[in-house]
Amino acid sequence: MTSLSDPRRNEALRRRPTMKNVADLAGVGVKTVSRVINREPHVSEETIARVRRAAEQLQYQPDMQAGNLRRADRRTDTLGLLVGSVANPFSAAVHRAVEDIALERHVAVFASSLDEDPERELSSVNAFLRRRVDGLILTTIQPSQAYLGAQLDRGIPIVFVDRRPNGIEADAVITENAEGATGAVEHLLALGHRRIAYLGDDEKIFTARERKRGYLDTLRRHGVAPEDRLIVDNLDDEAKASDAVARLLALDDPPTAIFSAQNLITLGVITSLRSAGASTRVALVGFDDVPMAAMLEPAITVVAQDPASIGEIAARRVFDRLDGLDEPARDFIVPTRLIVRGSGEIRPF
Amino acid sequence: MTSLSDPRRNEALRRRPTMKNVADLAGVGVKTVSRVINREPHVSEETIARVRRAAEQLQYQPDMQAGNLRRADRRTDTLGLLVGSVANPFSAAVHRAVEDIALERHVAVFASSLDEDPERELSSVNAFLRRRVDGLILTTIQPSQAYLGAQLDRGIPIVFVDRRPNGIEADAVITENAEGATGAVEHLLALGHRRIAYLGDDEKIFTARERKRGYLDTLRRHGVAPEDRLIVDNLDDEAKASDAVARLLALDDPPTAIFSAQNLITLGVITSLRSAGASTRVALVGFDDVPMAAMLEPAITVVAQDPASIGEIAARRVFDRLDGLDEPARDFIVPTRLIVRGSGEIRPF
DNA sequence: TTGAAAGCGCTAACAC
DNA sequence: GTGTTAGCGCTTTCAA
């Protein structure tokens, strides 16, 4: 007999019950328990009931890890998601969409933040791979993703999000960056603006490059020569964006409008325009929506992205491939939407 | 010889390489490969190099799931996190903090959104348990968490976040809800407000109950009798909060100040005050910070929570318990901070 | 309808 | 220093 203080009993309590324990308690073989747990046919109602009761009594939870080891399809029902930061609203919206699609298939999602750190990309991907994720959804920052080639060949679906992969052929889901920028710039041109400043992030980032391209091409197409003085790159935080705006406003012929190519930059622009008392004089269109944009004065006109669609499309693509879809890698382009709110409709002075 | 079209070769390519494959290629036994991979001592430099080369060549990734099956500590280096929604800024900040602490220990985090759905709580917890997570960090909505007792006994650390557990003794990390509400109400009382409205969420939610208690107690303590007409519960979205404010403003003796006990409610209040032209006349203090609060006109005074600390404390507690800490379950109370920005400093009319 | 035995990829225990 | 064997909890295979 075992008492509460008997170390063997404590040991037994701590160890999670196994299929064998359930089988013994129910007086059947392990395979029968396996059949019941996995709802396989050819088990009598009575046996099912007995096994269920035993499992219930022991609070048995099957160990998926052990099961997956031998299972034919070798799936872990697990997905890895790599984003800029799970705390960033854009990434969080992508994450949520991925989770919702995954949930339909009883797939759990590992999420990991990158912070634009290439080392972290490698270590996170490896951490996921060692845990045998069935598929990967990645926002990458490594210059090349060739290191993933072997996994792709091995049949692990990899879908890139918000970036196009380099050195590897894989699916990608991206916002129509250049076209969105074109929409913003044409909106400003139509109001009569000609001196339209561009404030953007590091050109090493794919999305920054694309948006800038859209800006430049659109100006040229409309017969406006881009001016170097009105173009500022490498703005990787709010403060830098603010400073850049202050400098632009101090020019002899300051811009009458600003196209801000990223979220955080837009916030810096707003702050700076306000403190210069220029927020109702200089037009502003931002790429990517800003929280509370509609409640600001003036409300901020933006080219909004659709992170929920991006996440959903990426997740569906992963599952389509897991279901055996075998077509060449392709891009999925997700449209943007110009949301007119006020700041972008200010006319040139 | 195997060609590209040989199905056996494709099969071999698709199967992920095992320790055995590496061992064969390196001409050693599996245990030696295991030693090298796990950086165990007693392997010659030369053997290490040979094994490394073979592993590299095959792009070998150890299978943690298989390893954990036999390993003494039986850890999966995996954590489960259950939050309201990964897309909600508060939850996302908690998530990020948990991830950062987990990363230090090479632990991967499963995150799952609940959407206040009790069914989802159960299925997510079970999904995590079947995947043998080492610990659990939970925002719960089930009326009782007694169903987790067996896991807790089994030594799986469970830490509750933003809610206190019911029917089970477990650690909890919570914001000082009542005290934060007290701070907000005292701030308004000090300015001379007496008719202070309360707008809150469903009282079934722990945090809503606590904040309301803080509001009521504080009024009474200062000799102000709470007025039923100024108290509105069950506001679970922005629109309902807006409507409630409209009704409050239409009273014969409308409130001169509003204490909004939750994020989304605050947004609804702002909208409604604005459209009534009352945003510079009626004072507003919100519980939980609002994005862009400082950029609004007036800027919004809030009782800010500290989700990053909450996540960090919860994660550390899980790891302390995994490290063998054996002390009774306790609460960790995380302080709030009153951020004075303008809306809360409007004097009574 | 049921179960015994082998094996999934790895680590533990122990032998050499 | 290195290898062999057993076994983790499950599924597969195959026999009863």
Neighbours of B118 (CB within 10 A): 12
Q: Which strand C bases fall within 7 angstroms of a protein CB?
A: 1-13
Cβ within 8 Å, pair A111-B155: no
Cβ within 8 Å, pair A13-B89: no
Let me know if A59 is exposed, middle or buried by CB neighbors in 10 A (0-12, 13-18, 19+): middle
Q: What is residue A59's three-state secondary structure?
A: coil
A228 phi-psi bin (left φ>0, alpha ψ -120 to 50, beta other) = alpha
The sign of the CA dihedral A132, A134, A137, A138 is positive
Interacting residues of B278 by C-beta distance below 8 A, sequence separation 6+? B249
* Dihedral Cα A73, A74, A77, A79, nearest 10 deg: -110
Q: What is the mean pLDDT of residues A207-226?
A: 97
Cβ within 8 Å, pair A295-B61: no
Sheet holding A331-334, edge to edge: A331-334, A171-175, A158-161, A135-138, A78-83, A108-113, B108-113, B78-83, B135-138, B158-161, B171-175, B331-334
From B153, which residue of chain A is nearest by alpha-carbon distance?
A: A14
Half-sphere exposure of B10 (CA within 13 A, CB side): 5
Interacting residues of B72 by C-beta distance below 8 A, sequence separation 6+? none
- The span from the CA of B148 to the CA of B170, in Å, is 10
Chosen from A14, A18, A56, A61 to mutate, greatest number of chain B CBs within 10 A: A61
User: Which of these, A159, A222, A227, lies nearest to A185 by C-alpha position?
Assistant: A222
- The span from the CA of B73 to the CA of A90, in Å, is 38
Neighbours of B299 (CB within 10 A): 18
Predicted pLDDT at A116:
85
Tell me the chain A residues in contact with residue B150 when contact means C-beta distances shorter than 8 Å.
Answer: 59
- Band of residue A59 on the pLDDT scale cut at 50, 70, 90: very high
> How many Å from the CA of A90 to C1' of C7?
45
Nucleotide nearest to A29 (CA to C1'): C3
Cβ B47 to strand C below 7 Å: no
- The span from the CA of A163 to the CA of A175, in Å, is 9
pTM for the predicted model, two decimal places? 0.93
Predicted pLDDT at A13:
55
Number of residues that this document lists for chain B: 349
Q: What is residue B80's three-state secondary structure?
A: strand
Interacting residues of B271 by C-beta distance below 8 A, sequence separation 6+? A295, B238, B242
Beta bridge partners of B136: B80, B158
Which residues fall inside 7 Å of strand D, measured at CB? A 15-16, 18-20, 30-31, 34, 37-38, 62-63, 66-67, 69-73; B 27-32, 35, 41-44, 46-47, 66, 69-70
Are the C-beta atoms of B294 and B342 separated by less than 8 Å? no
Q: Which residue has the tokens 């059947």?
A: A28
- The span from the CA of B251 to the CA of B60, in Å, is 72
pLDDT at A344 over 70: yes
* Dihedral Cα A141, A143, A145, A146, nearest 10 deg: -170
Buried b (16+ CB within 10 A) or exposed e, A146-163: eebbbbbeebbbbbbbbb
In chain A, residues 215-274 whose CB comes closer than 8 Å to chain B = 267, 270-271, 274
Half-sphere exposure of B253 (CA within 13 A, CB side): 8
Chosen from B56, B129, B130 to mutate, greatest number of chain A CBs within 10 A: B130
Give strand ranges (E) for chain A: 78-83, 108-113, 135-138, 158-161, 171-175, 196-199, 231-232, 257-260, 283-287, 301-304, 331-334, 337-339
Taking the C1' atom of C3, which residue's CA lies nearest?
A29
Let me know if B63 is exposed, middle or buried by CB neighbors in 10 A (0-12, 13-18, 19+): buried
User: Which of these, B186, B185, B151, lies nearest to B168 by C-alpha position?
Assistant: B151
Q: Which residue has the tokens 């959407």?
A: B115
User: Which of these, A318, A311, A330, A237, lies nearest to A83 by C-alpha position?
Assistant: A311
From B15's Cα to the closest Cα of chain A, the distance in A is 7
Domains of chain A: 7-69 (1.10.260.40), 78-175+307-334 (3.40.50.2300), 177-306 (3.40.50.2300)
Interacting residues of A344 by C-beta distance below 8 A, sequence separation 6+? A184, A187, A188, A257, A283, A284, A285, A300, A301, A302
- pLDDT above 70 covers a percentage of chain A that reads 96
Cβ within 8 Å, pair A110-B106: no
A6-29 per-position pLDDT tens digit: 444 454 557 899 999 999 999 999
Cβ within 8 Å, pair B63-A14: no
In chain A, residues 32-71 whose CB comes closer than 8 Å to chain B = 59, 61-66, 68-69
Q: What is residue A283's three-state secondary structure?
A: strand
Predicted pLDDT at B159:
98
- The span from the CA of A325 to the CA of A320, in Å, is 6
The sign of the CA dihedral B113, B115, B116, B120 is negative
The sign of the CA dihedral B2, B3, B9, B14 is positive
Tell me the chain B residues in contact with residue A341 when contact means C-beta distances shorter than 8 Å.
Answer: none
Interacting residues of A229 by C-beta distance below 8 A, sequence separation 6+? A251
User: Which of these, B138, B291, B74, B288, lies nearest to B201 by C-alpha position?
Assistant: B288
Q: Is the peptide bond before A165 cis (omega within 30 degrees of 0)?
A: no
Q: Which residue has the tokens 């005074």?
A: B301
Element housing A47 (H / E) = helix A45-58
Q: What percent helix, strand, coil does chain B show, rounded to 5?
A: 45, 15, 40
Q: What is the mean pLDDT of residues A149-173?
A: 94
- Give the strand pairing for A301-304 and A257-260: unpaired
Q: Is A296 on the interface with B (CB under 8 A)?
A: yes
Cβ within 8 Å, pair A108-B127: yes
Q: Is B2 on the interface with A (CB under 8 A)?
A: no
DSSP code per residue over B1-54: ---TT-HHHHHHHHSPP-HHHHHHHHTS-HHHHHHHHTT-SS--HHHHHHHHHH
Element housing B302 (H / E) = strand B301-304
**Cα–Cα distances in angstroms (integers) from residue B134 to residues A35, A76, B97, B130, B319, in the given order:** 27, 17, 18, 11, 9
Q: What is residue A176's three-state secondary structure?
A: coil
**Cα–Cα distances in angstroms (integers) from residue B115 to residues A35, B82, B86, B172, in the given order:** 33, 10, 10, 20
List the pLDDT tens digit at each of the 349 positions of chain B: 333 334 444 545 578 999 999 999 999 999 999 999 999 989 999 999 999 999 999 999 999 999 999 998 989 999 999 999 999 999 999 999 999 999 999 999 999 999 989 999 999 999 999 999 999 999 998 999 999 998 998 899 999 999 999 999 999 999 999 999 999 999 999 999 999 999 999 998 999 999 999 999 999 999 999 999 999 999 999 999 999 999 999 999 999 999 999 999 999 999 999 999 999 999 999 999 999 999 999 999 999 999 999 999 999 999 999 999 999 999 999 999 999 999 999 999 8
User: Which of these, A345, A331, A344, A315, lies nearest to A133 by C-alpha position?
Assistant: A315
pLDDT at A2 over 80: no
Cβ within 8 Å, pair B13-A126: no
- The span from the CA of A270 to the CA of B325, in Å, is 49
Tell me the chain A residues in contact with residue B113 when contact means C-beta distances shorter than 8 Å.
Answer: 96, 99-100
Cβ B113 to strand C below 7 Å: no
From B343's Cα to the closest Cα of chain A, the distance in A is 14
What string of H, E and C letters represents the secondary structure of A119-153?
HHHHHHHHHHHHCCCCEEEECCCCCCCHHHHHHHH
- Band of residue A3 on the pLDDT scale cut at 50, 70, 90: very low
pLDDT at A41 over 80: yes
